[in-house]
Amino acid sequence: MLPATVQSKMNDVEKKIIRNFHHRLTTTIRVEEIVLLLYSKGIIDCEFQKEILEKNGVKVAETSRLLTFIPENCSMEDFLECLDLAGYDFLCKEMREKLAENRQLNTRNWVQPCTSTYNTTFVDNFAEKLKIKIHNSEARKFKSHLRLWIKRLVCLDCRLSLSESRQRADCCFILLDSVAVIERTHSSHKDLWKSPVYSQMESLIAKTSNPVLSRVRHHARYGVALFLGGKDQEGLEYIEAALNDAKGFLLPGRDIGNCMFALVNYKLKRFGDSKSSNEKREILNLIEEGLRYFDNEGENTRKIWRRVYLDKKISCHLALEPSGRVNTNVEISNEDLKTARECLCEMDKNVDGMDKRRKIHFFRAQARLNKQESNFLIAKGYLEEARGLCIDGGFDSELQVLKEELGEHSLDVSEKESVMDLGLSVDDGFDIHKEECSCKTVCLPSYSLVNTCISEISQKLNI
C-alpha cells in the first residue's frame, strides 16, 4: 500500500528501535487509533485506512502489518507524535530515551542487520533434532526432564553478562517450545492454548538473542494451539502476524516455511466453510510456496519438510482435516484421487527415516484413498497399522480419530493430566518472572550449565 504523500523513511537506527519495541507495540496499542492519526498526517491513504478500520476485532496481525509499513513510509518523529496523541506517552518516552542513548554511541557498531545469525549451531543442530525425536515419540516421557532443566537454567546466578543472559534465554525458550510440541503431539486436550508454556515463552522473547525470530516462533506456535482449540479467528491473527514478521524481517528459510505450514493447517481446518471453488487452489498454492522456502536448506531438512508438505497436499485432495477426520463439506474428484495416489507413491519411496507421526498420517491417507476406491478391507488394514503406531507412540489425539473410524470405543486416556498440568506452573518452583535465584543448589556459570543441558539431553535422546 503506497502512502498518500511521500514521507521520510526511518534510518537504520530508528528501524532497529521499532523492531526492538515491536512486541510491546503489537500487544499494547490499538491500531485503529494510530491509523486515524497517520491518515490525518497524510502518511496513509483512504484505502489503507478503510482496510484497517473495516477489520472486526483486529489485533496482532493488523498491528504487525502496520508496523511493517511504517518504517518505510513514516518518519520516527511523526510516529512518536502519533503514539503520544493516542495516549501511549509511556511508550513514546521509552523510545525517545533509546534514541537519545544511541546518539552517544557509534551507530555503525550499534546497528546490526535484522537477519543476524541466531546461534545457528544451537538452533539447527539441537532444537530441530529434538523436534524430530518428539514426532518420533522418543521424547514422549522426557517432558519432566525438560522442565527440570528449564528450572535449573532460570535459577542461574543473576550476575550474568549480556551474552550469558541471552544464551540462557535462548535455551529456555527452545526447551519451552519443545514442551509445547510434546503437549500438542501426545495430548487429546482441546484447550492446549491455556497451557502456561505460551505465556512463559512470551516473557522470554525480549531476552533472547533474536527477539524477532523468537516472536515469530511463539506467535506461530500459539496460533496453532488457538485454532486447534476452536478459537479460529484469534489463531489466524497470531499465525498471520508471525508470517508477516517472518517475511519482513527474516531471510528465506525454514522459519518462514514453518509459518506457512501453520497457515496451511488453518486453511485445511476451515476448508469447505465458504463453498468457494478457489479454496482448494489457494491451499495448494500455499503448499508450493511453503516448500520453496526450504530450497536453500540442507538435503535432510528438505527431505523431511517435503514429506510434511506432501502430507498436507494429500489431505487437501482427500478432504482430511488436520485432526484426521473427514471433511464432509468437500467433494473429491477423480483428479483429486489421482494426485493423492501420486503423492502417496512418492512418500512410499521415501519412507526410510519417516517419523512415526508422519507414518500415521501416511497410513491414514492410504486408508482414505482405498475407501474412496471401495477397497474396504485394504483400507481397514491401513487404519489398523496406523492405530498400532498410535498406541505404541502415545499419540492420543490421532488414536481417538482412528478408533472412531474403526467403529471402536472412544479412547480411554491413560494420562489424566489437566490442561494446566501439561506445562510448567509456579507450584513447580518455576517462575521466570522472578529475578533472583530461588533454588537451593549451587549455580554453575551460564555457559557451563547451558552446554551441560544440551549435552545431557542430546545423550539421553541420542541426538
Task: Take residue 410 and report the three cell numbers written for it.
Answer: 472412544
Each residue's pLDDT tens digit, 36-55 = 888 888 888 888 877 777 76
Angle at 300 (CA atoms; ends 355, 324), nearest 5 degrees = 35
pLDDT band at 6 (very low <50, low <70, confident <90, very high): very low
Q: Under CATH, which architecture does the 12-110 domain have? A: Orthogonal Bundle (1.10)
Cα separation, 258 vs 281, in Å, equals 20
Q: What average pLDDT does this structure show over 388-409? A: 88
Write the CA distances from 254 to 43, 292, 302, integer angstroms. 34, 10, 9
| 294 compared with 99, residue with greater pLDDT | 294
Lowest mean pLDDT among 48-52, 114-118, 248-252: 114-118
Each residue's pLDDT tens digit, 144-175 = 889 988 988 887 655 677 777 888 888 899 99
CB neighbours of residue 34 within 10 Å: 23
Q: Work out the end-to-end distance of the chain between its first and last CA atoms, rounded to an integer number of angstroms.
A: 46
Q: What is the pLDDT of residue 276?
A: 63
Each residue's pLDDT tens digit, 406-458 = 987 544 444 334 333 444 343 343 444 443 444 444 445 555 778 888 888 88
Cα separation, 365 vs 369, in Å, equals 6
pTM to 2 decimals? 0.69
pLDDT band at 374 (very low <50, low <70, confident <90, very high): very high
Q: What is the pLDDT of residue 419?
A: 38
Q: What is the pLDDT of residue 158?
A: 59
Cα separation, 288 vs 261, in Å, equals 10
Q: What is the pLDDT of residue 343?
A: 95
Q: What is the pLDDT of residue 1?
A: 42
Q: What is the pLDDT of residue 59?
A: 60
- Cβ within 8 Å of residue 69, ≥6 positions away: 1, 44, 48
**Is the pLDDT confidence value at 58 over 60?**
no
Task: Take residue 339 and report the three cell numbers written for it.
Answer: 494426485
Q: What is the pLDDT of residue 424?
A: 38
Cα separation, 212 vs 206, in Å, equals 9
Q: What is the pLDDT of residue 136?
A: 85
| 78-82, 385-389, 395-399, 413-417: which is most confident | 385-389
Structural domain spans, the chain: 12-110
Q: Could you tell me if residue 57 is left (phi over 0), alpha (psi between -120 and 50 degrees) or otherwise beta?
A: left
Lowest mean pLDDT among 99-113, 338-352, 392-406, 418-432: 418-432
| Mean pLDDT computed over every residue of the chain | 80
Q: What is the pLDDT of residue 4?
A: 39
Question: Which residue has 530441530 as its cell numbers?
Answer: 128
The residues facing 320 across adjacent strands are 326
Task: Take residue 26 and report the three cell numbers written for it.
Answer: 503489537
Dihedral sign, Cα of residue 451, residue 456, residue 459, residue 462: negative
The residues facing 326 across adjacent strands are 320
